Amino acid sequence: MLTRRELLATAGVAAGATATAVALSACDPSPPPAAPAATTGAALDPASWDSVRAQFALTGGANFVAFYLASHAAPVRAAIERHRAGLDADAHGYLVANEQRLDEAVRTEAAAYLRTEADRLAFTDSTTMGLGLLYSGLRLRPGDEVLTTEHDFYSTHESLRLRGVRDGVTVRRVRLYDEAARADAGEIVRRLRAAMTARTRVVAITWVHSSTGVKLPVRAIADAVASANRGRAEDQRALLCVDGVHGFGIEDATPADLGCDFLVSGCHKWLFGPRGTGLIWGSDAGWRRYTPVIPPFGGDATPGLAATPGGFHSFEHRWALAEAFALHRAIGPDRVAQRTHQLAAALKDGLAAVPKVRLHTPRDAELSAGIVCCEVDGYGAPDAVLALSRAKVLASPTPYDPSYLRFGPSILTTEADVEAALRAVRSL
């Protein structure tokens, strides 16, 4: 069976392509066909948050919604433009010459960022696509049970519901805390462990809840799942699957640190990677129980390649992921985590001191990340968002019932932005 790359190379030869295109065959490491020079932003000083922010083209206001869908940093914009120009000039030639090298660069950069092996990484268009693929492709039998929680996003719940409709897998939900602000790590683990049964084959959780900002103690949950698995045959064990999108790009934690079997994330939120990109990381044990859903075009030499959907993609965005990971590594994942937590803590401290505000996100950094949710007496979340926007403070309402006012302090916000947000909330 030929991979797409081999097909492309063959097609180029068969069509009597020019000597240049033939020379630039799949395995040829020659440089890409000339593409226009890319526009770059100001040189990055990774030690300066002003310089980091200057890489982005965000306009005005204290932007606490930048995580919702990423703004592209200058190196990402430049890479997208470079690839777009190359594809527009000669898509076939550009692919033949560059696809393998650029796919590899993305895999290498992503693996370096996650401190993992590239073989374990599959690439997707979004968190939702990753969750849909994962929960469709895990091998389960009728009567097997998936345990998820009341706190996950629609994409997890709906992927699992559809799986149940398809082949009779049972899906159950557990509530891990009653009040987000008083969430307790020990109780979360106990409730989850108590809800597992001998039939539980998948535990589907979300690292940071977009409804409340609660961050789950994933490592402790992984340890509890491991203890439940002790003595079980491999195909009877529960796999721990995590929607990681609101921790990914903030927390300096690798999949190995988390101890999960699958980590699914979009790269277009807190990582500020190209819009329309995402990934699935799987452990060896996890991938052994996964059957690909969409035919891969990159071969099946590794589990990650086999799980990466084939077909053509918006390649200019996919390939610019390498620059997004490189930017984060240049800044330092530990500094990104420290900065995001510092701003979130300042915002939470300030909000907690406003009498008419009820803060829902835990103050404890072990139980929270960048998302900060609250309610303001007398204001529904959409009204509060509107009122804040008049003061040039951009926040969003959570898409849940009840809906909360949600802030996302990030590496694109400043201490002054936090102050502006607090002033605006106080004035409501």
**Of 372 and 424, which has the nearer Cβ to ligand PLP?**
372
Q: Shortest Cβ distance from residue 268 to ligand PLP (Å)?
A: 6
Q: Distance between CA atoms of 103 and 100, rounded to whole angstroms?
A: 5
Collapsing DSSP to helix, strand or coil, 410 comes out as coil
Of the two residues 243 and 375, which places its CB atom closer to ligand PLP in the complex? 243
> Would you say 211 or 229 has its CB closer to ligand PLP?
211
Q: How far is CA 300 from the centre of its chain?
A: 24
Extract long-range pairs of 382-385: CB within 8 Å, 24+ residues apart.
Answer: 384/425, 384/428
| Shortest separation between residue 187's beta carbon and ligand PLP, angstroms | 21
Q: Work out how close the CB of 114 gets to ligand PLP at its nearest, in angstroms, rounded to a whole number.
A: 17
Shortest Å distance, C-beta 272 to ligand PLP: 13
Q: Which residue is nearest to ligand PLP (CB)?
A: 266
Nearer residue to ligand PLP within complex by CB, 82 or 163: 163
Q: Least distance (Å) from ligand PLP to the CB of residue 88?
A: 27
> Quick one: 65 or 326, whose CB is closer to ligand PLP?
65
Closest approach, Cβ 306 to ligand PLP, in A, equals 22
Rounded distance between C-alpha atoms, residue 339 and residue 333, angstroms: 10
DSSP state, residue 254: -
CB of 318 to ligand PLP, least distance (A): 14
Nearest to ligand PLP of 38, 400 (CB atom): 400
Which of residues 168 and 399 has its CB atom nearest to ligand PLP in the complex?
A: 399
- CA-CA distance, 245 to 127, in Å (whole number)? 7
∠ CA 104-105-111, nearest 5°, is 90
Minimum gap (Å) between residue 335 Cβ and ligand PLP? 24
Closer residue to ligand PLP, CB minimum distance, 148 or 206:
206
Minimum distance, C-beta of residue 267 to ligand PLP, in the bound complex (Å): 8
DSSP string, 50-69: HHHHHTB---SSEES-TTTS
**Token pair recorded at residue 347:** 């915002």
**R_g of the chain computed on alpha carbons:** 23
Could you give the count of Cα atoms lying within 13 Å of 12 in the half-sphere of its Cβ?
23
The span from the CA of 414 to the CA of 49, in Å, is 8
CB-hemisphere CA count at 13 Å for 202? Answer: 32
Residue 158 CA to residue 228 CA, distance in Å, equals: 26
Instruction: Tell me how far the alpha carbon of residue 17 is from its chain's centroid.
Output: 40
Smallest gap, in angstroms, from Cβ of residue 213 to ligand PLP? Answer: 11
CA distance 425 to 354: 8
Q: Which two tokens stand for residue 81?
A: 């433009």
Spell out the residues 6+ positions from residue 81 whose beta carbon is closer than 8 angstroms to its own. Answer: 36, 38, 39, 316
Angstrom distance (rounded) from CA 188 to CA 171: 19
Q: Which amino acid is residue 335, in one-letter code?
A: R
Nearer to ligand PLP (CB atom), residue 278 or residue 298: 278
For 37, counting Cβ atoms within 10 Å of its Cβ (0-12 exposed, 13-18 middle, 19+ buried), the class is exposed
- Give 213 or 282: the residue with its C-beta nearer to ligand PLP: 213
Interface residues toward ligand PLP, by CB under 6 A? 126-128, 153, 155, 206, 210, 243, 245-246, 266, 278
Give the DSSP per-residue string, 391-422: TTEE-EE-SSSS--EEE---TT--HHHHHHHH
Closest CA to 208 of 164, 162, 266, 261: 266
Rank residues 204 and 387 by Cβ distance to ligand PLP and give the closer one. Answer: 204
Instruction: Evaluate whether 217 touches 367 at the Cβ level (below 8 Å).
Output: yes
Tell me how far, at minimum, the Cβ of 415 lies from ligand PLP, in Å.
26
